[in-house]
Amino acid sequence: MLSTSSVQPLSLERLRTACSTCGLRELCLPVGLSQPEMDRLDDLISLRRTTKKGQSIYRAGDRFDAIYAVRSGFFKTNVLLEDGRDQVTGFYMGGELIGMDGIGTELHTCDAIALEDSEVCVIPFSRLEDLSREVQALQHHFHKVMSREIVRDHGVMMLLGSMRAEERLAAFLVNLSQRFTARGYSPSEFYLRMTREEIGSYLGLKLETVSRVFSRFQDEGLVSVQQKHIRIIDIPRLKQVMSHQQPC
């Protein structure tokens, strides 16, 4: 867990601008709130945490008391399997929420680890519940976020259960492209914060398979790969691979 030195109380000025001027507000909880409601949410989110690469914001078995909005950086979640291997269960970037795995049991069921130096806004869950009862738009949006997580989990199960290796990696790259686009970044050129091994763990593929498929995509002119730098050359063809069609 993070040391107390990485927990940053917000000054009154920073508190008042925590959500209302955040560039990620349309991707996070405050969607659709009026200014008075936004002010109340700003009061709720009174702490930020900075996390160095490789550090965790929580571990499996930790007591659940908050969810976390990624303000900057990149995280992965993973669980420890019975044979001692780590299984990556998700990747999260700015504007996305981490920590909802603990809502049901009040204990976190996975680790959340920073893939680069990152910052999160801490949202105390009990206070969020109280505010959600009073602010209908906030409650509605939080339900939408939870539904999105369920759909995402279902999508991962589909990846692992029915898709070939090429389709899995294509779907992964297209999904990243769409998420970067929603944040105002290039849809076709970005850096992977995760390793090939972590991608393989998430997609249910061996490291060698991930490397082989990347090489195949590059040979076929779908992507250009230089270590962690990815440039998608032909998004339509990549989507064809993802949807079980043969590229033209």
The CATH number that applies at residue 11 is 2.60.120.10
The CATH number that applies at residue 235 is 1.10.10.10
Please check whether residue 73 lies inside any domain of the structure: yes
Co-location of 122 and 194 in the same domain: no
Q: Tokens 């991608």 belong to which residue? A: 199
Co-location of 129 and 170 in the same domain: no
- Mapped onto helix, strand or coil, the DSSP state of residue 235 is helix
Give the domain range for residue 223. 163-242
Please check whether residue 233 lies inside any domain of the structure: yes
Taking a C-beta distance cutoff of 8 angstroms, is the pair 224, 231 a contact?
Answer: yes
Please check whether residue 146 lies inside any domain of the structure: no
**pLDDT string in tens for the chain (248-residue length):** 443 335 444 444 444 445 666 666 655 665 667 777 777 777 777 688 899 999 999 999 999 999 998 989 999 999 988 888 889 999 999 888 899 899 889 999 999 999 999 999 898 988 888 888 887 777 777 777 777 777 776 666 666 667 899 999 999 999 899 899 988 899 999 999 999 999 999 999 999 999 999 999 999 999 999 989 999 999 999 999 987 644 33
User: Which is it for the CA torsion 5, 2, 15, 129, positive or negative?
Assistant: negative
Please check whether residue 221 lies inside any domain of the structure: yes
Spatial strand order of the sheet with 66-72 comes to 7-9, 47-51, 118-124, 66-72, 97-98
Per the structure, the count of domains in the chain is 2
Co-location of 107 and 30 in the same domain: yes
pTM, two decimal places: 0.82
